[in-house]
Structure 1
């Protein structure tokens, strides 16, 4: 752009680009040939709904001619001011609000007030108090049809003491008021003509970037400026004075201008309309009625129209893929459901979430991920064609809407979409494989509203994901009952934390060889007033969705340390394990909560074990590492629960302060008949032993599994066959005998 770096405007422009902030300016730049030019720069940030990306819409318009015109306008203005100053009569020019914009030398002299003081002063400062209300009344009526074209008012000088003679008021074409001392109506008209028809005034209008045509009551042209001739393609030498406006303008403007003219002259109000020319330029036509005719302003607003249209597009489409965004998708669902309700039709909603897309982003970066999303979106767009609607809701979530589609047709379409995803996507020479999980809901079969339709399709999609992905699932009665229960539990959760409805049940952990009691795992339970005892699977995800996670952490820390303190007073040395969900593990305040609770109750941190799953470690690796390290410094032991079922964490066994691994029950229960499970289990034990980690076998359900765990070298065992989770009072009895 050839900007000058030291220039303040350039610095502000660069700052706006860095901060993605809205900014407008006029900038002088240098072309490659060394010539100077001026341009208007407009920056507008556009952020999509999911806050996934931010783009800057930048518009640049060459305004060199306008800037040069403004310079000429300034020169012409100085000429006009000189004309006024040479006039022998005192002259004031007021704006439509009564502010004095110009005062010639004669006016300053007779009013005994310097010209620079007069300018920007309000005319009421020079009107007797008794006359001010009449002045307001006169100013409002000046120029109205059949009311007033001219009026008279008395003014006082700057001291407020000497009454001056009458001044005559007359409204100019642009709404300003000409105020002349000692003028007759004829003089007033001559002074008005001086201001509006002088060469200086015409120069001002000729340098305007808008077209201007002044006409009398009969519609015949009195004046036309250069830009109006350009817009209307009228040669400079062609005389137009006395010609009807509708005869001078191009054919495509004739009817529009004629209609605006009639409306304006009848209503005595400004009329405006935008018109698209044959060469695709937008022209804004504005007619201002006057007492003796009208003025027509023709303004080229193509750039602003295109700018507004682009902003509307950005507000409606996803900036990455070009598909409709969430807002448009939800509006379309509402529209289709409303139509189906009126006509007795149906709507199918298909909610799709890509499987394994996060792995592409993590492994290859967001640039490749974005390219993959574009390719997938293009396939979806080609698949839906005119049969329905497809939009992108957020990162890797898409919505298909099929109006008038029978249930089987919607299911068949969903299978076709999954079939497309089975084919590899080739980008930059690499093949990428992604899957998808699709949930389907139907109006009016299951949903009663558009909002309910989308919620149900989302729930069905999560059901498909839970079953392993790459599946299509319908929203059904079982899901409806589950959603009803979730909504009920969601309402009851907040009161549950504050009314001691939560508690821990304790499952014993035994030495694999001696079967002596070596520990306990604390398992969260909810004593619901009407639904009875609920396991974490029924409500823990609801807590993670809400803002109650920190409160649960606080309660858990207090409850577990209090229980350990109580058993310690009975001389128990059995450590107690506490499970943390991925969301709980990401609470950075957890180490400080434990630190305060351990000190307050005098509990040795070595009597508490924190259990986390492999998936929990991978949810937020950095935060998980900080929390685990903080807990380890307090003396707490760290165990990886369900080891072997989640993400690969062999690297974490070396880098994090891990003390124990708990082998998932799947491997223990399948090793007797599955050779691969047997090999994996033996490999886990061997690895753990080489790192001096304690190994616990979970899910022991019979004597054969217990013997297998002992033979492969597991240190401890737990399972329902050895002991089911029990209340704290029942577990206290076990502490006495300590033998299974």
Structure 2
């Protein structure tokens, strides 16, 4: 911690001050140094003087010897030199050096005096050499001494400079620490074992709304929540000297709101300058709230607020582990909205999201305490029932189906919403969470197969059916691009003449293993998975291609193609139809687009302009299965249509049910009034054909004339005389050979 660092810096500075800059040690050292320096200088000066004056006696001796030698030369005889010799002896010439001169005769006196001069000269040279040696030695000694002294001086200067620098650093550090504590956003507090504060930084006013002076001497525990007080007391009792720990507390603000604070708690009781616990903390309330929101978003659906798939799977797994050995199993409820894709396609995803929000609220309201409701994705929901048997779960599921079925009204738009529910038991220790959820999903598809808006419980037999369905779904996606699809064509016949006036293209699937499959086996699946768009697009282009070939016949039959709701709501639908006509070369008036009544009524605002645009080019529009939708008559006059196809359910009753016949006759009469061409679907017997001719229905379609046939069969039908079409033989043949 910073407190430890600053304290050690202070201790080091104190040590340096006591050892290097002591006020008592410094003058003594200076005095000793000064006296020693003076003594050394005087000694050196005395030595130099001694060396300098050492040869003065020899010089006097040489001067006396020179005078004596000059006297001997000038007299030419033996002079009285006793006085000169005495002077030389007094000058320091050894007696033995003068004996030769005293005893010399007339002939040897001069040589003896000269020899004395040579001796004195040698002595002078010896003294000069000694002086030079002494001077050189002294110079070396002084140089070495001066270097050592200078080095010591430099070292002392550096030591002093370092001490001053460290002192400045410690002072700056203390000032910086003080500035940080005084102006920092974090709150720094020092308190004892009783949490009574001895220091509080000024930032307490900013964070807690309480002036630092007001907090001094108070117990920090009074600001904490009870559970946090217990944790703090435990930390104070277990935190060793010099240790620190990260902490996070709930602390009360002066205005009463709770703050989330986090920081570090350090035990500095052993530090003399601190002597307590140091708690440094900051306000992280906003960050804590953000983390909680992110955590909630990570495990909850952002649209409905329910648990998401990850949280649901986690709780299911934990429940299976926690209840291992329990006799009562868990129940997983899988909920899927019926035909929800139509809402997205018709009203847009924004409206679809609002519907999901409403359904989510309804599911949450009818989920029992302790159960987990989740949105798994899209329009799929699930509920984990931890304390309910299968019978009780079925009751709850049926109630939920009724609640969801209540119409949803958004911005004045009333939308019917239904749901299919699958139930599956999950026995702890015998099944995994993935298997439990999968079984509930399989049961949900079984509920849809029963007619939707129902509840089904999982049965082991359903698993095989689900696998078969999944396999067939994968095969269908491949079949669209593998030329496994083919078209059969059923003729529409002019009732009065028996002339074929058109064909309706009906898709078939030549499965490599299952054989020839009818639309009922795969079209609903294509609608659920969204493959119906690709499927019907293929039908449109293939049917228009074959229709061009049929234009060589004198009757120039039309070609009718079924259009799904998912196709019709696509922005490029009109462009797609135009491209099919352009690539095939089929005249626009030879193409009829058949749209079911319910599809048209789903989204009139978008459908009407698109249909009108196609009609303006010449394409004919037919309402298929008329009479099976809702509010048909109210909107019929607004629709840009040319053909009305009466549903088979009405035709079945015309020959045996008077009331049914009256309704059908009214529909045909209405069609005449609106100048629409009427086609009766599902005509199977001659009585039905005769009744339709009687009520002036112009065109019929059904097994009575022909079953759906392939391209070769179409050419064969067109080659027949018109009076050969129809009859029970064709009907029997169709029912025997191809029951679809």
The aligned residue for residue 113 of structure 1 is none
Aligned counterpart, 1:385: 369
Equivalent residue number for residue 176 of structure 1? none
1:390-429 equivalences under 5 Å are: 390-392=373-375, 398-403=381-386, 405-418=388-401
Are residue 236 (structure 1) and residue 213 (structure 2) matched? Answer: yes
Partner of 2:719: 736
Displacement of 1:658 in angstroms is 0.9
Match of 1:283 in 2: 261
- Residues 407-429 of structure 1: per-residue CA shift (max 9 Å, x gap): 3232233234456679999999x
- Equivalent position to 1:226, from 194, 199, 202: 202
Partner of 1:566: 549
State which drifts further: 245-254 or 693-702: 245-254
Aligned to 1:305: 288
For 1:652 and 1:425, how far apart are their aligned partners in 2? Answer: 22
Contact 2:683–2:701 (8 Å) recurs in 1: yes
Matching residue of 1:716: 699
The 2-side partners of 1:415 and 1:556 are apart by 40
Give the aligned partner of residue 532 of structure 1.
515
Tell me the CA shift for residue 631 of structure 1. 3.4
Q: 1:608 Cα deviation (Å)?
A: 2.1
Q: In 2, Cα distance between the equivalents of 1:663 and 1:474?
A: 38
1:271 aligns with 2:255: no
Q: Distance in 1 between matches of 2:12 and 2:500?
A: 107
What residue is the counterpart of 2:614 in the other structure? 631
Shift of 1:553: 4.6
Distance 1:662 1:237, change over 3 A: closer
Q: Offset of 1:545 from its aligned partner? A: 4.9
1:191 — aligned with what? 168
- Would the alpha carbon gap of residues 692 and 248 (structure 1) be closer, same or farther in structure 2, given more than 3 Å must change? closer
Describe how 1:335-350 pairs up with structure 2 within 5 A. 335-337=318-320, 346-350=329-333
Q: 2:236 aligns with which of 239, 258, 264?
A: 258
Pick from 638, 644, 651: which aligns with 1:655? 638
What are the within-5 Å matches in structure 2 for residues 56-75 of structure 1? none
* Cα distance between partner residues in 2 of 1:579 and 1:237: 83
Deviation per CA, 1:561-599, whole angstroms, max 9, x where unpaired? 221222223545121211122223334434434434434
> Residues 684 and 703 of structure 2 are in contact (CA less than 8 Å); yes or no, is this contact kept in structure 1?
yes
5 Å-filtered alignment, 1:654-733, equals 654-672=637-655, 677-733=660-716
Counterparts of 2:170 and 2:197, CA distance in 1: 16
Distance 2:172 2:478 in 1: 78
Matched residue count: 554
Task: Give 1:463-612 correspondences, 5 Å limit.
Answer: 463-464=446-447, 467-476=450-459, 479-546=462-529, 548-549=531-532, 551-612=534-595
Determine helix, strand or coil for the equivalent of 2:280.
Answer: strand
SS in 2 for 1:413: helix
* Among candidates 360, 367, 376, match of residue 362 of structure 2: 376
Whole-Å Cα distance in 1 between the matches of residues 687 and 223 of structure 2? 104
Relative to structure 1, the CA distance from residue 492 to residue 469 in structure 2 (aligned partners, 3 Å threshold; closer, same or farther) is: closer
SS of residue paired to 2:556: coil
CA positional deviation for 1:519: 1.8
In the alignment, which residue of structure 2 is the partner of 1:212?
A: 188
1:613 corresponds to: 596
Cα 1:520–1:195 shift into 2, 3 Å:
same
In structure 1, the residue matched to 2:109 is none
Q: Tell me what 2:440 maps to.
A: 457
Question: Against the structure 1 CA distance between its residues 736 and 582, is the aligned structure 2 distance closer, same or farther, given a 3 Å change threshold?
Answer: same
User: What is the CA-CA distance between 1:675 and the residue it aligns to?
Assistant: 6.0
Aligned pairs for 1:24-43 within 5 A: none
**TM-superposed deviation, 1:401:** 2.0
* Structure 2 unaligned residues grouped into runs of 5+: 14-157, 726-740
Deviation at 1:477, TM superposition (A): 5.4
Q: 1:639 to 1:420 in 2, by over 3 A?
A: closer
Instruction: Compare 531-540 and 615-624 and name the one that shifted more.
Output: 615-624
Tell me the CA shift for residue 274 of structure 1.
1.0
| 1:188–1:354 Cα change, 3 Å | same
Q: CA deviation at 1:390?
A: 2.9
Identify, as 1 or 2, the structure richer in strand. 1
The SS at the match of 2:551 is helix
SS at match of 1:697: strand
Give the deviation of 1:237 after TM superposition: 7.7
Q: Judge conservation of contact 2:200–2:212 (CA < 8 Å) in 1.
A: no
Please report how far the alpha carbon of residue 692 of structure 1 lies from its aligned counterpart in structure 2 after TM superposition: 0.9
Q: 1:350 to 1:506 in 2, by over 3 A?
A: same
Contact 1:348-1:402 within 8 A present in 2 as well: yes
The answer to whether the 8 A contact 1:614-1:648 is kept is: no
What's the CA shift string for 1:97-144, capped at 9, x where partnerless? xxxxxxxxxxxxxxxxxxxxxxxxxxxxxxxxxxxxxxxxxxxxx999
**Cα contact 1:260–1:287 (8 A) shared by 2:** no
Using the TM superposition, give the Cα deviation of residue 691 of structure 1 relative to its aligned residue in structure 2, in angstroms: 1.3
Per the TM alignment, residue 284 of structure 1 is displaced from its structure 2 partner at its CA by: 1.4
Structure 2: distance between partners of 1:501 and 1:248: 76
In structure 1, distance between residues paired with 2:383 and 2:229: 47
Contact 2:490 2:504 in 1 (8 A): yes
Cα distance change, pair 679–374 in 1 and its aligned pair in 2 (3 A):
farther
Alpha-carbon distance in structure 2 between the residues aligned to 1:427 and 1:729: 52
Distance in structure 2 (CA, Å) of the matches to 1:288 and 1:338: 42
Cα distance in structure 2, aligned partners of 1:211 and 1:505: 83
Residues of 2 paired with 1:564 and 1:584: CA distance?
A: 21
